[in-house]
Structure 1
């Protein structure tokens, strides 16, 4: 019997059930279709485009086969849906199994305001005009890495603002200020890979190993992120409450050395007692003598109040220096907060701590569910819609304009996205019905086409490196 993983690799089954019948629903004489993807608004006013290259390499790079068609034919017959067996076999026989589509998109890492086309998908073979629609289910899942990258990017802008105000080394510290703790909280390994890599577009700290693998497999990045030795509750509480001190001392013995960083969760029983007595008195000299940096991790309670109090207690024990901007920087110790972190609590913590005169240097954050799981397609209101079809040789506009919800009004006609070369502003512009291709768009003064052809007829035409993606995302700052 074929395994689930083998069946899930069949591109013809990577769709919604009703898509199998859509080839019969277009007007007679249709021989081309055009689709686009956009964020129709949402929580943030701009998005970070990421993940298309990984989707294309992972799902479209392998040509379909007659075995794929056989499996899909049999499944849809039993499932109650018609299936375009002849059309798919024609693609296998005549086109070598390569899907006749063209995908254009903004460069990965681009930060684009909402309500603009981010990518377009169009058919390239009159006999297979229905293929772009069939792929909607799979291609629209790009909403997920884009949304994660967007949440992470906006968090980065918040942290950047506080670092620039309070730190002597904002640029050096920023890449490691938000750590990905989300792998265990997502719905699948695949989600961890795509979401984990999306976060790494903006930061370099992660515990989501599968994100590293995706960046390596699809973006030519040998090592996209880093981590440090860190305790979890089981490794501390296995010593027993009466030996909590021994558990902490063992962490120093195993991992603390000159230049090293070691994180120790310290709230298993009483975080304040642990800081005052264990770290601040009994182990204080050992922490200092190790030459490493101890990162204390609270993991319960109100994040804003607890982090503030922990920093004050660590200050009492280890002291601080004052940097050139007049903010206090703790000696030998730091705090990382990973519980209850989201964009709102992150800002609130920074506001509380800096208002008390402490530099952002003293803090790092871990983000789990709020980064990789507490989001959905409506977070940024993503949609993939058909906007044009060629019927009887003429391009016609295809759109929806529901009277009950103007927010779901879709764009019409073929289109591309332009970017002003000096100001960086964007403009989604139509392509006339008479134009033979998108290359015929007349550019307004100062604008260039912001999209490039990424994929055409089974071939990847633009292969971004992770370094390029990161650079693109970092060119725009709030």
Structure 2
């Protein structure tokens, strides 16, 4: 038996819920939304990966036996009859239907993103049973994709103000987050969510996830780069030889190489080695040397590094009046990078007439790990039930927290007159198109989406506006 048991991908208390619904319950409909939080809009992503990985494989008798044994020992009731019914009547595939907006769609928060309902009245309890797995499958990659896109907006704004074009935008924020993620699966899902917006990554698991789940032969790219161990293994006295070896190994036309340069003394490395002993090698390298500071205050370090490099290697002034290093040398800041520090660094650079062309960023824990369900206040809530043939609204409206008020009824997402999407009841849709598509039913993925199409939906116009929602 596969070690993964889908019946146990659940919060413990859910196993008792089949006994808690009103007599005659036939269908339960629930929805997922971001109730607000840090961002004003969400980039929906990640559902297809979850469906392919977890919902297209049936449960079996061994799963049921294991789940029963564990639940009873754990102090909980177990719905053996319900799971055996799914095995017999549905060959082990979950009788649920999932609707969702196309992945990559950018939707204002407080709108329905996905909706789930059971397709067999015998399995009314199943909709909420899968909340644990389904909500987690949506909130995490959507939050990462959203934050990554917010960073893209900031970087794009400064490129538009201080650079000639946006040619380098897709490689301005590199994913360094794999080692800071809680698991390989986290790194894969979050890393791929970042690649909805950018194409630079060192998270190999994300590349594999792109191939496996989103028909992306190569979702992102990287370059040869040094780390402190490879530089310090030469010894402090041989630091220049370590750097020289990097140029020797990885030089060439159109090739990039990144070298961490603060193992000992960043300013000494810039002044005496890169801008001194190896200056001609750098100038005639044929490609681009990317110098990476890795400590200190990011705003101060970046602006000073660029200033010193410009003094040593020169700079041109572009048509917008900002200074740009020669094309053979650039800077990569991968320490202490967050949405806040990206803005701070670029703002300080602009004040010193340094173009955003000079810098790229690497983001680690802030990108893949320093997010949680509350970052965007994600929730999955029941909004309608059918009992004895009649649909009725289900909602919560806590007197102590109006922010947790939930929506009522079967829901749809439609375009307003101004083009922005908003949530309505399904029965109020009129002649408008429902942006929620049925993507999964009874064990089958019904709509296959590829990363290229998802990237187009999430793209940003030069004014920073949404280019496209779903079609």
TM-score range, shorter chain: over 0.9
Tell me the SS of whatever aligns to 2:284.
helix
Asked if 1 retains the 8 angstrom alpha-carbon contact of 2:153 and 2:460, the reply is no
Deviations 1:157-214 (A, max 9, x none): 00000111111121x1100000000000010011000000000000000000001111
Q: CA deviation at 1:423?
A: 3.4
Task: Extract unaligned runs of 5+ from structure 2.
Answer: 466-471
Structure 2: distance between partners of 1:450 and 1:164: 32
Equivalent residues in 2 for 1:441-460, closer than 5 Å: 441-443=429-431, 447-460=432-445
Aligned to 1:314: 309
Equivalent residues in 2 for 1:131-210, closer than 5 Å: 131-141=126-136, 142-170=138-166, 172-210=167-205
* 1:333 corresponds to 2:340: no
* 1:352 corresponds to 2:348: yes
Aligned to 1:470: 455
Structure 1: distance between partners of 2:253 and 2:118: 59
Aligned to 2:446: 461
Structure 2: distance between partners of 1:163 and 1:297: 20
Aligned to 2:404: 408
Aligned to 2:223: 228
* 1:124 corresponds to 2:115: no
Structure 2: distance between partners of 1:41 and 1:427: 14
Structure 1: distance between partners of 2:366 and 2:339: 8
Structure 2: distance between partners of 1:285 and 1:358: 24
Question: What RMSD over aligned residues (CA atoms) do the two structures have, in Å?
Answer: 1.2
Residue from 105, 113, 117 that aligns with 1:110 = 105
Aligned to 2:469: none
Aligned to 1:272: 267
Q: CA deviation at 1:396?
A: 1.2
Q: CA deviation at 1:475?
A: 5.2
Aligned to 2:23: 28
Asked if 1 retains the 8 angstrom alpha-carbon contact of 2:414 and 2:429, the reply is no
Deviations 1:101-138 (A, max 9, x none): 11111100001000000000011101011111110000
Tell me the SS of whatever aligns to 1:448.
coil
Q: CA deviation at 1:355?
A: 1.5
Aligned to 2:59: 64
Deviations 1:271-321 (A, max 9, x none): 011001100011010011111111000010000000000000100111111
Q: 1:475 to 1:340 in 2, by over 3 A?
A: closer
Residue from 90, 94, 98 that aligns with 1:95 = 90
Deviations 1:217-240 (A, max 9, x none): 000000000000000011111111
Equivalent residues in 2 for 1:43-62, closer than 5 Å: 43-62=38-57
TM-score (norm 2): 0.96
Tell me the SS of whatever aligns to 1:158.
helix
Aligned to 1:42: 37
TM-score (norm 1): 0.95
Aligned to 1:362: 358
Task: Extract unaligned runs of 5+ from structure 1.
Answer: 433-439
Structure 2: distance between partners of 1:128 and 1:441: 27
Structure 1 runs of 4+ with >6 Å offset = none
Structure 2: distance between partners of 1:186 and 1:388: 37
Structure 1: distance between partners of 2:409 and 2:364: 40
Structure 1: distance between partners of 2:200 and 2:460: 20
Tell me the SS of whatever aligns to 1:399.
coil
Structure 1: distance between partners of 2:318 and 2:349: 15
